[in-house]
């Protein structure tokens, strides 16, 4: 009985809401680590033998925080935003990491070695996730700042789409056509999907913060 009372007191005082902020922030941190690892893969800084293990560890960390979010939702009395919105934001973040994992693995399978085409997209992914993390940290402290941060994150997602379109146009403007062009196109498409999921997470977070403010 005493434990229930202490839990209720903690949640009503804001501790329960802050827990979700911390879990989402850590899930995003794992996703940023995944994007940085993908950039290292593209730059030839990660060996073939260690790539899958490193990405597995990063993905496991992200999945763990995602699982904690879902578990906490079933127990929490109060949440910083609507429960369903919180679930969807976490799922969209998870989708970003899953596609970064697939990008890194497919890069290795295709034996790619060109860095120029992919670096700008991966940098935009990292910056977008950092903007999203900043937005999340304001969920409890100042919800009015969440939408502004989410808008900045979405702009990075839009930037990824423009970079994707430009890179594909350059790719197919070549006079010769070979399998390498198709492989590069598939990898670019994977990063475009990352951008789509980033935009979804940003939109969901912005919409949820607006609901909270009313």
Contacts of 120 (CB under 8 A, 6+ apart): 163
Residues 81-110 have pLDDT tens digits of: 889 999 999 999 999 999 999 999 899 888
* pLDDT tens digits for range 6-26: 344 344 444 578 999 999 999
pLDDT digits (tens, 9 = 90+) for 56-88: 999 999 999 999 999 999 888 788 888 999 999
Residue 116 is predicted with a pLDDT of 74
Q: What is the mean pLDDT of the chain?
A: 88
Domain residue limits at 127: 2-213
Per-residue three-class SS string for the chain:
CHHHHHHHHHHHCCHHHHHHHHHHHHHHHHHHHHHHHHHHHHCCCCCHHHHHHHHHHHHHHHHHHHHHHHHHHHHCCCCCCCHHHHHHHHHHHHHHHHHHHHHHHHHHHHCCCCCCCCHHHHHHHHHHHHHHHHHHHHHHHCHHHHHHHHHHHHHHHHHHHHHHHHHHHHHCCCCCCCHHHHHHHHHHHHHHHHHHHHHHHHHHHHHHHHHHHC
**Whole-number pLDDT of residue 2:** 44
The total of structural domains in the chain comes to 1
What's the pTM value of the predicted model, to 2 decimals? 0.88
The CATH code of the domain that includes 135 is: 1.20.58.220
The pLDDT assigned to 114 comes to 65
210 vs 31 pLDDT, higher one: 31
């Amino acid at each position: 009985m005493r434990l229930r009372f202490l839990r209720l007191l903690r949640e009503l005082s804001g501790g329960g809401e802050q827990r979700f902020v911390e879990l989402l922030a850590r899930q995003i941190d794992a996703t940023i680590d995944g994007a940085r690892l993908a950039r290292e893969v593209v730059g030839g800084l990660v060996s073939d033998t260690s790539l899958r293990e490193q990405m597995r560890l990063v993905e496991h960390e992200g999945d763990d925080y995602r699982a904690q979010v879902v578990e906490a939702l079933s127990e929490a009395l109060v949440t910083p935003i609507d429960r369903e919105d919180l679930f969807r934001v976490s799922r969209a973040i998870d989708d970003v990491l899953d596609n970064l994992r697939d990008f890194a693995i497919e890069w290795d399978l295709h034996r790619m070695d060109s860095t120029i085409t992919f670096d700008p997209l991966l940098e935009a992914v990292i910056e977008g996730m950092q903007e999203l993390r900043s937005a999340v940290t304001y969920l409890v402290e100042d919800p009015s700042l969440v939408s502004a941060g989410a808008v900045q994150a979405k702009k990075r997602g839009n930037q990824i789409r423009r970079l994707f379109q430009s890179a594909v146009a350059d790719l197919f403007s070549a006079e010769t056509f070979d399998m390498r062009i198709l492989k590069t196109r598939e990898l670019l498409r994977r990063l475009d999907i990352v951008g789509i999921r980033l935009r979804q997470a940003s939109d969901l977070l912005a919409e949820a913060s607006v609901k909270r403010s009313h």
